[in-house]
A and B are shown apart, each in its own frame.
Chain A
Amino acid sequence: MPDETKDREAPGAVSEASGKKPGSLLTGVAFTYCPGSGCTHGSLNRLLAGIIGELGIRSKVILVGPVGCAEGIVKYIDVDAVEAPHGRATAVATGIKRSLPDRVVITYQGDGDLAAIGIAEVMHAATRGERISTVFLNNTVFGMTGGQMAPTSLIGQRTTTTPFGRDAQLSGMPFHVAEILTRLPGTAYVARTAMNSTANVAVTREAILRALEAQMQDRGFSIVEVMGICPVGWKMTPRDANTHLADQIIGEYPLQLFKDCVGSCDGGTGDGQVGPWTGDGGRGPQG
């Protein structure tokens, strides 16, 4: 069986360095996320690898990857991993967790994978209170296939399949995953964060730690929706993309702790401990 260290980059690819540090759980395989674009996947992969390493749970973690740009993660983090069919990560994770209840099972999914084709699987996994944790990167677009509209795209957002901007009459309204899952009694932890500032990265880190804690405490389904940027898919510079995230996207998708049943729970009605993050959304206090 081939060893990780033999994995190679695509010939001639200018890949973003994975930034592997000593003790990190990154495999050292070079990231192939759009190089130099500012894509959020790289930093979120690195953050998750750091968290698993820090918790010392490599021997217990099973990572389930999606289909889409986010699938890269299974190559980059040095843990047991399964690549799921498009949208089916939470069903695959359910099969793993039910088989091995004392392991820590994490799915990593994008918004095309989770909010479009995989919404039934995630709704039911959440409703059943599956003891799995989902890290959900929402960049409001299908990235890998070239920037098509996602259920999460904003009204007016120009994509390759909404060249005149998303029209609600034609294509419906933006899909709010965190708000919907919060209302399901099976969820133990629901938060929405972003990765666009040092403060927000710290909040994301705390949220993922908390989501994993919810799983390890056997509380139910946990999910962190991380708002990210896709400058290539959005056809923006990284700087403009970050401005767009702070000015437009976070307006539609407020960064918030929706539900936290770690330690104790009110029965999971969604009326538990909720509130806005102290994180600044990348542009100063919002009041």
Chain B
Amino acid sequence: MTRHLMKGCEAFAEATVRAGCHCFFGYPITPQSEVMEYLSWRLRDFPDGVFLQAESEVAAINMVYGAAAAGRRAMTSSSGPGISLMQEGLSYLAGAELPCLVANFCRTGPGLGGVEGSQCDYLQATRSGGHGGYRLLTLAPSTVQEMVHLTVLAFELAEQYRTPAMIFSDGILAQLAEPVSFDDLLVVTHPKPWAVTGADGRARNRIPRHFFSEASETDGLDPETVARYRAMTGKGPATPLIEAERLNLTLAEKYRRMAKEEARWEVIGDGTDFLLVAFGTIARVCEEVLDWLAGEGIRARLFRPITIFPFPSEALARAAAGVERVHVVEMNEGQMIDDVRIAVGREKPIGFYGRTAGGVLRVGEIGRAITGALARREIHA
């Protein structure tokens, strides 16, 4: 196995190339500008390589929209303020059911914030950051190596579900250099008969399809959804669906399917004193917190969501079943707590520790905060 010492940013960029994505549009922003710097030379290796530094994040995401519509694997990468500017485009991509990848190497916020890593965009990433109530399939790696694998997977899932996907990381992982391997990556692609490539001897393609007529048939929807629509509206089988409703039913069905099939997580340790929940960079710190706590005579286990949308609710419920208490650690002020609360139910106490200053929380700091909270039987939410 060949291993390279690479920064998270550069390993991510290389992973997109290995995943067959040769189309990048972006705009510089710390702490992830190395992604585009890397791709500016790397994509020259390919005859079909497209690298373009856009005039803004607004333009960049719309260039991704165009390239994705044209059937290419396409991506962009940014951080908080830039991702905010992309929300309109992400809503259009979701509404048009176009696959693409967007990476958010989160910095602190709100507003300009600072360039140090944080997880303060969790709600934006998981709750429909733009208008319209869509979701992004969102993967949150905790190591550079995992980022490589999840990046390749993200392209596959984006195409399978015809949805924009997001790598949700932070400025720490972006700048952290680790040994990483690109061996044995499994690249899976899906055909794109819907792409706009010029209507050469075929009926024309239209993106987004729902925009193009005032009413539509039910084909492409599963029978259960159609039956639900019929029941809701009392309409007979010959009545076409209203387009806006058809789109939203399609998306809702897609998100339910994702929740069922694509939730990913990891459970570390088997202590039963309490359950620690953390994702991304801070989850790997929390692995060491388990050892620190063991030194204090406390045996905990760690639940690490790998997908944050879909959130691994059922798995978390199972993991929390055997413990009396849950403790969440995030690099924000507790944005994931709602998801944890939904999973573990109303009765179970949830404690929380987080910092918003940016940068890594230290093991002892987290450990002491938790033992203090345990002693006080503090309940956060």
List the interface of chain A (C-beta within 8 A of B). 1-4, 6-10, 29, 58-62, 64, 74-75, 78-85, 88, 91-100, 103-104, 120-121, 124
Contacts and interface: CB of A to CB of B under 8 A. Distances in A.
B64 interface: yes
Contacts of B74: 95, 99
Contacts of A9: 214
28 contacts: A2-B212, A2-B219, A4-B204, A4-B212, A6-B213, A8-B215, A9-B214, A58-B198, A59-B199, A59-B201, A62-B198, A79-B204, A80-B196, A81-B204, A81-B205, A81-B206, A82-B207, A84-B92, A85-B62, A88-B59, A91-B54, A91-B65, A94-B66, A95-B70, A96-B70, A98-B50, A99-B71, A103-B198
Interface string B211-249: 111111101100000000000000000000000000000
A61 B205 CA distance: 11
A126 to B, nearest CB: 11
Contact of A59 (B88, B198, B217, B219): B198
Contacts of A58: 198-199
Nearest to A32: B214
Contact of A83 (B72, B207, B215): B207
A95 B65 contact: yes
Residue in B25, B65, B89 with the greatest tally of chain A CB atoms within 10 Å: B65
Contacts of A10: 214
A80 B213 contact: no
B217 A98 contact: no
A4 B69 CA distance: 19
Contacts of B339: none
A124 B67 contact: no
Given A62-B198, A100-B197, A103-B198, A92 B204 contact: no
Nearest to B201: A59
Interface string B34-57: 000000000000000010101110
Nearest to B68: A95
Contacts of B60: 91
B316 to A, nearest CB: 36
A80 B205 contact: yes
Contacts of B52: 94, 98
Contacts of B62: 84-85, 88, 91-92, 95, 121
A62 B67 contact: no
Given A60-B198, A82-B196, 19 more contacts: A2-B209, A2-B217, A3-B203, A6-B213, A7-B212, A7-B213, A58-B198, A59-B199, A62-B197, A78-B199, A78-B204, A80-B197, A80-B198, A80-B204, A85-B89, A95-B63, A99-B72, A99-B74, A103-B198
Given A8-B215, A82-B207, A85-B89, A95 B196 contact: no
Contacts of B206: 74, 80-83
A149 B25 CA distance: 33
Contacts of B96: 82-83
B217 A6 contact: yes
B63 A91 contact: yes
Contacts of A59: 198-201
Contact of B212 (A75, A99, A100, A120): A75
B211 to A, nearest CB: 5
A88 B58 contact: yes
B180 interface: no
A2 B218 CA distance: 9
- Give the size range of B's interface with the partner: 35 or more
A61 B203 CA distance: 13
A72 to B, nearest CB: 11
A93 B52 CA distance: 13
Contacts of A99: 23, 50, 66-67, 70-72, 74
A74 B205 CA distance: 11
Interface string B188-202: 000000001111110
Contacts of A3: 203
Given A3-B203, A79-B204, A96 B69 contact: yes
Nearest to A71: B211
Contacts of A62: 70, 196-198
**Shortest beta-carbon contacts, A-B, top 6:** A95-B66, A91-B62, A95-B63, A59-B200, A80-B196, A92-B66
A94 B66 CA distance: 7
Nearest to A93: B66
A20 to B, nearest CB: 15
Contacts of A124: 54-55, 59
B77 to A, nearest CB: 15
B59 A91 contact: yes
A160 B204 CA distance: 38
Contacts of B197: 62, 80, 100, 103
A184 to B, nearest CB: 13
A28 B200 CA distance: 20
A121 to B, nearest CB: 6
A186 to B, nearest CB: 13
B208 interface: yes
B220 A81 contact: no
Nearest to B70: A99
A2 B213 contact: yes
A8 B242 CA distance: 12
B50 A1 contact: no
Contacts of B58: 88, 91, 120-121
A62 B205 CA distance: 10
Nearest to B206: A81
A92 B65 contact: yes
A121 B199 contact: no
Contacts of A84: 62, 65-66, 92
Contact of B55 (A79, A80, A98, A121): A121
B214 A83 contact: no
Contacts of A93: 66
Contacts of B198: 58-62, 79-80, 100, 103-104
Nearest to A65: B211
Contacts of A1: 209, 219-220
